[in-house]
Amino acid sequence: MALRPYSVSLEEELYLRNPYFPHVESYISKVTTAGQLTLPKKIRKALGLGGPDYVEVALVGRTAVIRRLREDDEFLEAISKKVKKTGLTRARMQELLDEVKKDAWKKRYREAVR
């Protein structure tokens, strides 16, 4: 590393060495021993992450890309509202799902045996 004529903090040095500079705003976060990472507040705000949200983490080469699964949230919320209007109970919904799973497994293994 070349010597600099002035003192540079670690944060500034890492920012200056960012290969995407100046096109990407980046932040430094620590990964815990459990593999957990805290997203900086500015990133959470930009992605609209609040309470119990889900994100997708994709590996692109040696880069991780994080995106919020907003579309799925809206889709599931719309289904939930329609189900509540019909009066369908959680127990009945589970029965229906169990029947569909059972039929799907039968069909799958019947076709696999042929």
Contact indicator for 73, 80 with CB cutoff of 8 Å: no
Which pLDDT belongs to residue 34? Answer: 93
Question: Range with the lowest mean pLDDT among 12-16, 27-31, 64-68, 110-114?
Answer: 12-16
**C-beta neighbour count of 39 within 10 angstroms:** 15
pLDDT in tens, 77-95: 777 788 788 888 888 888 8
Tokens of 70: 């907003």
- What average pLDDT does this structure show over 66-71? 78
Are 26 and 15 a contacting pair, CB within 8 Å?
A: yes
Distance, in Å, from the CA atom of 47 to the CA atom of 78, rounded to the nearest integer, reads 21
DSSP 32: P
